[in-house]
């Protein structure tokens, strides 16, 4: 697959598949990691040891299937992903309910090797397979007056046991400014490591915005809406003082409960040396210009 975007990452930087799909080793030491967050960073690790298959399939975050770390792997198989339909509406010329297979037939799928940074101060490098969101929006004919793109996750209590509890205001929703959505780095991911995304990781279609914290990359999307008003987002609604609308990776803006100055790369064990968090997760050259003149502390 030919890529339209070139990056500075190499194959050796890729987080092992096992380590990406499982967070057990990292999260077991989360408390210790947060305590060390303010201490000086160290060099980036070049190699990572993969977790075993049990780890890959038994530990993940996806609150629609429960708040326990093994809940997604236990329950995500209940999510029916075939057939799948995405409603595209709002300020578009061609609104409608689009079958996932029809979308895929019209899109150019590429592999994108991206850094991934969680708001919880861990990170990885992931080879996604997907297509640029801009291509999907162009197909739908986003109108010139649209300023934002809103996203919505499936809300199926019979298939997603976690939504039976008011952990968040379901369904999970997210949003981007139109220039963020149209940026060539922003993709709709359909695969990881050349395979279909597992249910617990957001099958069959999720957003990936590599310069933002991971919770912006909404999973299992069923609706995309073009609008002229800033849309609500789930974590911002839950706690606006900790989760801003923009959620750009910024090492100078700490979470209210921990520093964002450093991060831990998944896959190296509990004692992996921390590394500096990069502004915009390392994509400043590509995206800093769209925030020119903005106060990135106020607009966090």
Fill in the DSSP letter of residue 251. T
Task: Note if the bond before 53 is cis, omega within 30 degrees.
Answer: no
Share of the chain above pLDDT 70, in %: 79
CA pair distance 63, 160, nearest whole angstrom:
9
Annotated binding site: 60, 63-64, 118, 153, 201, 206, 217-219
Compute the mean pLDDT over every residue in the chain, rounded to the nearest whole number: 84
> What's the first-to-final CA gap in the chain, in angstroms?
35
Percentage of the chain modeled with pLDDT above 90: 64
The tokens for 82 are 């075939």
Residue scoring higher pLDDT (230 or 127): 230
As given in the structure block, the two tokens for residue 142 are 């986003």
Over residues 192-209, the pLDDT tens digits come to: 878 898 898 899 999 999
Do residues 188 and 269 lie in contact, with contact meaning Cβ atoms separated by under 8 Å?
no
Q: What residues form the annotated binding site for Mo-molybdopterin?
A: 60, 63-64, 118, 153, 201, 206, 217-219
Q: How far is residue 85's CA from residue 191's CA, in Å, rounded to a whole number?
A: 17
- Per DSSP bridges, beta strands 85-90 and 96-99 are antiparallel
CA distance 220 to 62: 10
pLDDT digits (tens, 9 = 90+) for 78-105: 999 999 999 999 999 999 999 999 999 9
Q: Domains along the chain? A: 11-291 (3.90.420.10)
Residue 12 has pLDDT above 70, yes or no: no
Residue 72 has pLDDT above 90, yes or no: no
Q: Please tell me the distance from the alpha carbon of residue 196 to that of residue 213, in angstroms, as a whole number.
A: 22
Distance CA 151, CA 188 (A): 11
Closest listed residue to residue 85, CA positions, set 135, 156, 145: 156
| Separation between Cα atoms, residue 191 and residue 195, nearest integer Å | 5
Does the pTM surpass 0.75? The reply is: yes
Over the stretch 46-55, which tens digit does the pLDDT of each residue have? 336 322 233 3
Phi and psi of 212, rounded to 5°? -110, 160
Helix (H) or strand (E) holding 74: helix 71-75
CB atoms within 10 A of CB 35: 11
Beta bridge partners of 189: 130, 206
């Amino acid at each position: 697959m030919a890529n339209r975007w070139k990056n500075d990452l190499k194959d050796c930087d890729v987080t092992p598949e096992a380590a990406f799909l499982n967070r057990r080793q990292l999260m077991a030491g989360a408390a210790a990691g947060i305590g060390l967050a303010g201490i000086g960073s160290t060099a980036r690790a070049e190699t990572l040891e993969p977790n075993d298959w049990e780890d890959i399939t038994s530990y993940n975050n996806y609150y629609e299937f429960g708040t326990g770390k093994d809940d997604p792997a236990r329950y995500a198989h209940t999510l029916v992903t075939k057939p799948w339909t995405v409603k595209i509406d709002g300020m578009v010329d061609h609104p409608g309910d689009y079958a996932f297979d029809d979308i895929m037939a019209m899109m150019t799928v590429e592999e994108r090797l991206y850094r991934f940074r969680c708001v919880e101060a861990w990170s990885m490098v992931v080879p996604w397979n997907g297509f640029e969101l801009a291509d999907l929006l162009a197909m739908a004919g986003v109108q010139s007056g649209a300023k934002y793109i809103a996203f919505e996750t499936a809300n199926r209590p019979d298939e997603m046991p976690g939504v039976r509890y008011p952990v968040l205001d379901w369904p999970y929703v997210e949003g981007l400014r139109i220039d963020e959505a149209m940026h060539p780095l922003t993709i709709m991911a359909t695969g990881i490591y050349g395979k279909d995304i597992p249910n617990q990781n957001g099958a069959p279609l999720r957003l990936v915005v590599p310069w933002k914290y991971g919770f912006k990359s909404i999973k299992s999307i069923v609706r995309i809406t073009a609008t002229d008003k800033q849309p609500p987002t789930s974590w911002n609604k839950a706690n606006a003082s900790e989760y801003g609308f923009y959620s750009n990776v910024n090492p100078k803006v700490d979470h209210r409960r921990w520093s964002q100055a450093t991060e831990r790369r998944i896959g190296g064990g509990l004692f992996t040396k921390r590394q500096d968090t990069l502004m915009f997760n390392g994509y400043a050259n590509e995206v800093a210009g769209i925030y020119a003149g903005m106060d990135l502390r106020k607009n966090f």
